[in-house]
């Protein structure tokens, strides 16, 4: 598996520091809010990130999952996002929602999800992404919390996949371009 990795972009140690920092920042920002948090984990890519992040959020918190897709086997965004698993919750006005995502690319997925959940009258909706590739943005979207800004390279590992593989790498790596070209 590692033979297809060109380089390690973010090591396990760095990932641990990033999740700790973000978790503490979220704790600080929400500590005076009277409403509990629902962390919405976007499957499947943000599973590992979310698991590490929520252990650093020292506040009442509930966990939910959504599954959306914008990518198939390729590395190019197909445009529209599709909701495969929706949030099975009512009375979102009682909660502060934090959407947890692995990576922001064109920005379409999180721009759409944020709007959708705001339309359901959540008390607040914020986004927390491990990675951001701002140079790839196609819509006006800025995440509220971001672990690391990265250049326009296709990354894998720590939950992120190429064609459903490499999610189990413990670090974030750059895939060798010959694997997908
Ligand atoms: P967006 O809607 O274009 O922002 O797409 C974000 C989604 O694209 C992420 O949740 C990932 O599933 C996928 N994605 C974007 N860039 C990468 C990458 O470098 N590696 C793996 N998945 C990626
Ligand atoms: Mg994803």
**Residue 80 pLDDT > 70, yes or no?**
no
Strand partners of residue 80: none
pLDDT at 79: 52
Residue 102 among the catalytic residues? no
pLDDT tens string 16-70: 999 999 999 999 999 999 999 999 999 999 999 999 999 999 999 999 999 987 6
- Interval between CA 33 and ligand 2 midpoint (Å): 29
Q: CA-CA distance, 20 to 28, in Å (whole number)?
A: 12
142 versus 112: the higher-pLDDT residue is: 142
Q: Tell me if the bond preceding 125 is cis, omega within 30° of 0.
A: no
User: Higher pLDDT residue, 26 or 179?
Assistant: 26
SS3 115: helix
pLDDT (0 to 100) of residue 181: 80
* pLDDT score, position 1: 77
Give pLDDT, residue 157. 98
Average pLDDT over residues 152-156: 95
Ligand 1, closest atom to CA 105? 4
Catalytic pick among 105, 132, 161, 163: 105
CA of 156 to the centre of ligand 2 (A): 11
Look at residue 72 in the predicted model and tell me its pLDDT: 46
Distance from C-alpha of 50 to C-alpha of 34, rounded to nearest angstrom: 23
Sheet strands side by side (includes 5-10): 5-10, 172-175, 155-156
């Amino acid at each position: 598996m590692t033979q297809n990795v060109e380089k390690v972009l973010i090591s396990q140690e760095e990932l641990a520091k990033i999740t700790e920092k973000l978790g503490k920042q979220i704790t600080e920002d929400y500590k005076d809010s009277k409403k509990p948090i629902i962390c919405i984990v976007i499957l499947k890519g943000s599973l590992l990130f979310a698991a590490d992040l929520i252990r650093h959020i020292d506040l009442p918190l509930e966990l939910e999952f959504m599954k959306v897709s914008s990518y198939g086997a390729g590395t190019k965004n197909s445009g529209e996002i599709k909701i495969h698993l929706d949030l099975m919750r009512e009375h979102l006005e009682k909660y502060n929602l934090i959407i947890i995502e692995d990576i922001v690319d064109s920005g379409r997925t999180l721009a759409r999800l944020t709007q959708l959940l705001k339309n359901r009258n959540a008390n607040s909706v914020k986004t927390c992404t491990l990675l951001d590739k701002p140079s790839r943005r196609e819509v006006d979207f800025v995440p509220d919390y971001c672990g690391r800004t990265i250049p326009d390279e296709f990354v894998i590992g720590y939950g992120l996949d190429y064609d459903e593989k490499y999610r189990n790498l413990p670090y974030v790596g750059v895939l060798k371009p010959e694997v997908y070209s």
